[in-house]
Chain A
Amino acid sequence: GENVEQHPSTLSVQEGDSAVIKCTYSDSASNYFPWYKQELGKRPQLIIDIRSNVGEKKDQRIAVTLNKTAKHFSLHITETQPEDSAVYFCAASIDGAGSYQLTFGKGTKLSVIP
């Protein structure tokens, strides 16, 4: 099955700096890559996703890049704010092969220091 590795496991940045979280996946058939944000004690919520037919997607201060050849994708947060502090999960989906499972990375705890 699919295996998703996520790095780093913890990340501390100063407010206003950028944060980058990286994920690699193992199955070249994966074609959907969402990112979820989970605040302390809350449920995960989708913040951005990317499909394999595009290389980059932006939404205000958040961007995701995808390199299909290297099988890795990254989350970029610019101008970080204290409310960005949370655990971020990447995920990959092997769609089109009869499997509907979304495999998650183990998460990155982001701390934004005011």
Chain B
Amino acid sequence: NAGVTQTPKFQVLKTGQSMTLQCAQDMNHEYMSWYRQDPGMGLRLIHYSVGAGITDQGEVPNGYNVSRSTTEDFPLRLLSAAPSQTSVYFCASSYVGTGEWAYNSPLHFGNGTRLTVT
């Protein structure tokens, strides 16, 4: 198992450019999510998905789009990059259980993408 794979590891963009951060998992996890990590701010949820064809917004969704066409892949698109989007981005996935603890499963994180927007 490769777990959660993110590409690229590093990226530099100019303001206004667009790009897609890739995320793939091979654990057959239903739940996938994107977080950004900024110094002193912890991990903030951008978007998440509980299955193919289903996505929803997190705490900081503006400027980002996602889609979930397969269980394995959950790409994050930056529509028009801004310096405020300079951050480390983590993709994470987890198993979705049943019953009382339906969504309370440990997150498995990818290795992150360090994005700089100039």
Residues of A bordering B, CB below 8 Å: 1, 6, 9, 31-32, 34, 36, 42-46, 49, 51, 89, 93, 95-96, 100-107
Using a Cβ cutoff of 8 Å, how many contacts connect chains A and B? 59
Closest residue of A by beta carbon distance from B111: A43
- Please name 14 pairs of A and B residues whose Cβ atoms are closer than 8 Å in the assembled complex, sorted by A: A9-B40, A36-B107, A43-B90, A43-B112, A44-B43, A45-B109, A46-B107, A49-B106, A100-B48, A100-B50, A102-B33, A103-B59, A104-B42, A105-B42
Q: Which residues of A contact B83 (CB under 8 A)?
A: none
Give the complex CA separation of A51 and B101 in angstroms: 9
Decide: A44 and B90 in contact? CB cutoff 8 A: yes
Q: Which residues of A contact B104 (CB under 8 A)?
A: 31-32, 51, 93, 95
The number of chain B residues with a CB under 8 A from chain A is: 26
Q: Which residues of A contact B106 (CB under 8 A)?
A: 34, 46, 49
Residues of B bordering A, CB below 8 Å: 31, 33, 35, 40-45, 48, 50, 56, 58-59, 90, 100-104, 106-107, 109-112
Decide: B109 and A100 in contact? CB cutoff 8 A: no
Per a CB cutoff under 8 Å, which of A45, A96, A103, A106 touches B41? A106
Distance from A2 Cβ to chain B, minimum over Cβ atoms (Å)? 10
Q: Which residues of A contact B41 (CB under 8 A)?
A: 106
Give the complex CA separation of A44 and B42 in angstroms: 11
Give the complex CA separation of A96 and B109 in angstroms: 23
Per a CB cutoff under 8 Å, which of A9, A45, A93, A103 touches B103? A93
Decide: A44 and B59 in contact? CB cutoff 8 A: no
Give the complex CA separation of A43 and B114 in angstroms: 12
